[in-house]
Amino acid sequence: MSEATPRNDRLEQALEELEAARFIAEASAALAQVADYESTLERIASLAVPRFADWFGVLIRDPGGSLRRIAVRHQDCAMVRKVEEMYRRYPPAAEPRYGAPRVLATGEPIWAPDAEAMVAASARDAEHEAMLRSIGLKSFICVPMRSHDRVCGALTFSTAESGRRYSEIHLRAAEDLARRCAIAIENALLLGELREADRRKDEFIAILAHELRNPMAPMRNAVEIVRASAGDIPEARWANEVIERQVSHLSRLVDDLLDVSRITRGTIELRRERVSLASVVEAAVEASRPAIERARHELAVILSPEPIDLDADAVRLSQVLSNLLNNAARYTHPGGHVTVRAAREDGDAVVRVIDDGVGIPSQMLERIFEMFVQAPGAEAPRHGGLGIGLTLVKRLVELHGGTVEARSAGTGLGSEFTVRIPAVPAARAHEAPRGTPTAERAEG
């Protein structure tokens, strides 16, 4: 008999440890999946009751210092209403003696294997004690959630009708979960701040682009008036050409800003239709030819003799290739070489824009398509732009179901950008082009 009792105790302890480990594993998975911390804590509450507790509660200290109860969970909704009424009539005291407010004030956990003494100690008057006893608490754990040196909340676990008694195993599991919850809350708050900053950035870009676009039309009109009145004065013609060129450059920058804003907000539309890859490349080359000729680059365009069709927005794809060509012209020294190759590979239309310019440092290859990122230390004669052209390229290509990749052997060794877009199968090349383009809204 004396041997059986220790064996039974060890078995019971092993089962408790296994059940606690399973609960922590499921709760950890929930913490990893949900970004909004209040929703996460609600899900933890659903896991805790009745697996780990008959009652579960979460108390949070807001940044301003006020206490807010996120969740009170029990299988019986009537019992939850009873507890909420008790909290309404007996809010946390200025110097709490027990429970979650006490844990928040001290940062120390409370573990009461037998809740009887706790009920008597925490009651403020006879009515409060009667309400506490009506809940039927048997065992109690409350643990702090710490974010660095700050206690940001407390988790409360209680047993009642199940009659279970909490052991040190349960206390350790509760403390483990509280640490994970604190990290999840901190990450969720940081993510919320980043999203708000990102929203404000997108809003600013949209407003800025629209405000910059307003003066464009009057400036273009003024350029035309100056051209008409300049006559044969060389200085006036030169000045007019400079102004016209810079206005066109500014207009392209503003258009890129507007497009980035539309993409990030999910409001850009693709107007898909049957187009030939050759016509897309031709339109992009024509748009970029002035920049290439000003830099005295040698341009080679190599197209596959095989007709390659796409279901795509021709204007947007031309914009993609034009941005890549302008980028090559900007980052290649005068008299350099720029090559465009277009072919079908494994069912995709593949376009490569290759230059022998300043190249891309290896550490920048993965970041080159990020917003406002430009390769540091590159010595190109015509640097400029806002660092959004390649971001726009990537987003537009992805909206077409494709990919874009940057390659470079390093600084001074040129670069290669490869765009892959799904092509219409060669067997369908004989079909007539679609009559009506299809509008397709981007999903942010």
- Six-digit token pair at 223? 């350029």
Q: What residue segments make up the domains of the chain, in order of their start?
A: 4-192, 215-265, 267-441
The pLDDT-based confidence of 444 (bands split at 50, 70, 90) is: very low
Residues 186-233: pLDDT tens digits?
887 788 788 787 777 777 777 776 677 677 778 778 877 877 776 777
- Least Cα distance to 158 among 115, 107, 102 occurs for 115
Of 16-30, 87-101, 348-362, least confident by mean pLDDT is: 16-30
* 418 pLDDT higher than 90: yes
The partner residues of 146 in beta bridges, in order of sequence, read 151
* 437 pLDDT higher than 60: no
* 180 pLDDT higher than 90: no
Q: What is the pLDDT of residue 431?
A: 59
- Per-residue buried b or exposed e for 79-94, using 16+ beta carbons within 10 Å of the residue's own CB: beeebeebeeebebee
Distance CA 93, CA 141 (A): 20
The pLDDT-based confidence of 5 (bands split at 50, 70, 90) is: low
Distance CA 262, CA 254 (A): 12
The partner residues of 272 in beta bridges, in order of sequence, read 438
More confident residue, 5 or 397: 397
SS3 293: helix
Is 4-192 a domain of CATH 3.50.50.60? Answer: no
Considering 66-75, 344-353, 426-435, the range whose residues carry the highest mean pLDDT is 344-353
Element (H or E) spanning 72, and its range? strand 67-73
Distance CA 280, CA 140 (A): 70
Mean pLDDT of 161-178: 90
Q: What is the pLDDT of residue 34?
A: 54
Could you give the angle at the alpha carbon of 227 between the alpha carbons of 221 and 231, nearest 5°? 155
Share of the chain above pLDDT 90, in %: 37
Residues 24-51: pLDDT tens digits?
777 777 776 656 777 778 878 888 888 8
Q: What is the pLDDT of residue 379?
A: 47
Sort 335 into a burial class: Cβ within 10 Å, 0-12 / 13-18 / 19+: exposed
* 101 pLDDT higher than 60: yes
* 91 pLDDT higher than 50: yes
List strand residue ranges (DSSP E) for 193-291, in order: 269-276
Residues 304-361: pLDDT tens digits?
999 999 999 998 999 999 999 999 999 999 999 999 999 999 999 999 999 999 999 9
- Least Cα distance to 351 among 285, 252, 270 occurs for 285
CA 23, distance to chain mean position in Å, is 29
Q: What is the pLDDT of residue 258?
A: 75
What is 267-441's CATH superfamily? Histidine kinase-like ATPase, C-terminal domain (3.30.565.10)
Distance CA 371, CA 389 (A): 9
Could you give the angle at the alpha carbon of 225 between the alpha carbons of 219 and 231, nearest 5°? 135
Q: For the chain, what's the residue count?
A: 444
Give me the amino acid identity at 243: I
* 269 pLDDT higher than 60: yes
- Six-digit token pair at 178? 């509280």
SS3 384: coil
Q: What is the pLDDT of residue 372?
A: 66
How is 87-124 classified by DSSP, letter by letter? Answer: HHHSPPPSS--SHHHHHHHH---EEESSTHHHHHHH-S
Mean pLDDT of 279-306: 93
